[in-house]
Structure 1
Amino acid sequence: MTRLQPHYESSPNERGPHVEFEAKTPDEAVELALLNLDMTRDEVVVTVLEKGSRGFLGLGARRARVRVEPKTQVASTVRALTSEVLRLMQVEGSVTAKQQGRNISVRIKTEETDGLLIGRKGETLNALQHLLSRMTARQTGLGDQARVMVDVAGYRSRREAQLRRSAQD
């Protein structure tokens, strides 16, 4: 039986609330985390920090270590980052963020500045999406595990429909 190792709580300024667990294997560490947090696998984002190793004849063995973060915290972090970027751009608007698996969908609604955020052929929107992806990776410690998709005033769905019509013609 694997014994529960102490978990380490980060300060909110560092990367946001998360817990880290250690066990013989990453799967066991995730199980321990889920039991401790009373959550399911679908409700958390797991990052394997160290895979661990068995060593040679038990000597030099290293324990696996994982970081577990509730998804709602990841989505709220992305929402806060997006709001801050909009504030720095001097753009007023409302931001919603939802997480489904590794994808985080960000929707921005503004009164008059949709064109400014979208840019020519979506270039500004793509740049904003890339910026938020990098900021999210750094802030949450998830690296490339989380994919941020930004949409302003339904531009992406309109553009997709337009491309489909063009492809059918």
Structure 2
Amino acid sequence: MTLYTSETVDGAVKQALQQLQLDRSQVEVAVLTKPRKGFFGIGARKARVDIKPAVTVNSKQPEKTEKPVTKTTDESATEPKSASASKPVTTPTDQTVATTEGPTVNRQAEYQQVAAELNQYLSTIISQLGIDATSTVEVKHRHINMNFKTEQEGLLIGKHGRTINALQSLAQVFLNHKRFSKLEVTLDVANYRERRVETLTRLAENMAREVVATGKPVYLDPMPSFERKQIHSVLADNEHVMTYSAGTEPKRAVVITLK
């Protein structure tokens, strides 16, 4: 019996392992006395443990040292070399195909799956809004396009696109929650996005002319980030005005001012 003492059981075990130069899995620990702090030092006692090597550790190690000796004496030195020399010619090419094509195919399958879950999620919300609509989903690389068809287009789009934009923001939150933050989603109804781009382009050009004429900056209404990007893009090459965003979400807006 080998006894070790310390302020704690773990401390006694750690001390024993250092002296025996063994791992925790290679020893058997028996706690003989548990530590006690006492009252102002009265009645305090240290932990006492009995440490001894496990039987299974000593019985298995001789087998591991004997096997390599028998293999090196029985096998010839020329056979492994000839076998290994012929295999690398074909196996590396097979492995590269598996590592380059496999993850891409699997990732696209994951995108398709999360897009289907998103479609079901949004369809439930739209139904709860009292809107009868059908949808089609298309996944291209890292972008999900969802197109809704309904006879209640105005209700689904909302004033200035507030409803469809809110649903699109909610869809992005859903993807982030599913740990697909790199995916982008666009919701559309009756080509609203295309018509909205045309509207924003005309708005940006008209407001730019007003800024040049009056010399005063123009503050546009709050917009989601993807619509603000459209304004910035339209006026990026304008020689007379510049744009920037001001405010905090969801009331962040574009400001057009003279350069």
Q: TM-score, normalised by structure 2?
A: 0.37
Alignment correspondent of 1:141? 179
1:10-159 pair list within 5 angstroms:
35=98, 39=102, 41=104, 44=107, 70-111=110-151, 113-138=152-177, 140-142=178-180, 144-159=181-196
Distance 1:136 1:90, change over 3 A: farther
Which SS does the other structure have where 2:185 is aligned? strand
* Deviation (angstroms), 1:168: 5.8
Q: Which residue of 2 aligns with 1:51?
A: none
Query: Hey, what does 2:43 align to over in structure 1?
Result: none
Q: CA deviation at 1:124?
A: 1.6
Tell me which amino acid in the other structure corresponds to 1:160. Answer: V
Q: How many residues align?
A: 110
The CA distance in 2 between the partners of 1:100 and 1:39, in whole Å, is 18
- Check the 8 A contact 1:104/1:146 in 2, yes or no: yes
Q: Which contiguous aligned blocks of 4+ residues in structure 1 show a shift greater than 4 angstroms?
A: 165-169
- Residue identity opposite 2:194 in structure 1: S
Corresponding letter in the other structure for 2:192 = Y
Q: 1:102 touches 1:147 (CA, 8 Å); kept in 2?
A: yes
| Counterpart amino acid of residue 201 in structure 2 | R
- Residues 16-54 of structure 1, C-alpha deviations (whole Å, 9 max, x = no match): xxxxxxxxxxxxxxxx9x949x74626615xxxxxxxxx
Which amino acid in the other structure matches residue 137 of structure 1? N
State the one-letter code of the partner of 1:141: R
Amino acid at match of 1:156: R
- Distance in 1 of aligned mates of 2:199 and 2:156: 19
Counterpart of 2:201 (choices 161, 164, 169) is 164
Cα distance, 1:107 vs. partner?
A: 0.8
Question: Structure 1: how far apart are the matches of 2:196 and 2:105?
Answer: 31
Code of the aligned partner of 2:183: A
Give deviations 1:57-103, integer Å, cap 9, x for gaps.
xxxxxxxxxxxx52221221121112111122121111111111221
Tell me how large the CA RMSD over aligned residues is: 2.6
Percent of aligned pairs sharing the same letter: 30
Q: Is the 8 A contact 1:77 1:136 kept in 2?
A: no
Structure 1 distance, partners of 2:103, 2:131, is 38
Higher relative contact order (CA 8 A, sep 6+): 1
| Counterpart secondary structure, 2:144 | strand
- C-alpha separation between the residues in 2 aligned to 1:39 and 1:95? 30
Output the TM-score relative to the length of structure 1. 0.55
SS at match of 1:145: coil
**Post-superposition shift, 1:160?**
0.9
Structure 1 contact 99–105 (Cα < 8 Å) conserved: yes
Residue identity matched to 1:121: H
